[in-house]
Amino acid sequence: MTAILQDLSPGKLKILKAVSNLLEDPENRITISRIAGKVSVTEAAIYRHYRSKDDIFQALMAYMEANLIAPLNYVQKEVETSHDRLQVVFQKYLDFLEGHPGLARLFLGHGTSEATGVTDKVQMLHAKVRGQILMILRRADAQGDLEKDVAPDAAAELFYGLIIGASMAQGFGLPQTEASERWAIFAKGIFKND
């Protein structure tokens, strides 16, 4: 469990889960009243935990960032090969997105107009994730692990496309190919000896 969740009281966690659930339906307009109804508390109870809807979304974004950046930091220290690093990141991302379809939608930009600054935070999160994926692939290229004609930038774009595709499938309940098949196709085209 991430540190961000460990720091949350049960009440705050219930509120974040409720907002994540509300984000699963694009028709939902997120209001304090709707959040309170989802949690079965009064609006005043919501305000005891968060000052505003903006604060709730800031906490959601911190949770998303912790779950999307942590695997990238972990693999840099704990996983030896670039192939294995990206495979671990891919699986961690799929697990997160599958467990949080509402946040998968938020990651795609749906619901970003619900609170101030969320659009910018989502864009920053994308930039951080993409930047770190590119670093992994540049390292793979420097070590001679990428196929001859594969540029790290192009490989990063393809990998990121896998993540965005998974977000869309989770956020919109679309059918998708097994994760292992998607990974195998990507790895075969990008890495030597796959």
Using the 8-state DSSP alphabet, how is residue 151 labeled? -
Alpha-carbon Rg for the chain in angstroms: 18
pLDDT in 10s for each residue of the chain, 194 residues: 344 445 778 899 999 999 999 999 988 899 999 999 999 999 999 999 999 999 999 999 999 999 999 999 999 899 999 999 999 999 999 999 989 999 999 999 988 888 999 999 999 999 999 999 999 999 999 999 999 999 999 999 999 999 999 899 888 888 888 989 999 999 999 999 86
Helices 82-99 and 53-78 cross at an angle (nearest 10°) of: 150
**Contact present, 137 and 155 (Cβ < 8 Å):** yes
H/E segment holding residue 38: helix 32-39
Give the CA count within 13 Å in the CB-facing half-sphere of 6: 5
| pLDDT tens per residue, range 5-39 | 457 788 999 999 999 999 999 888 999 999 999 99
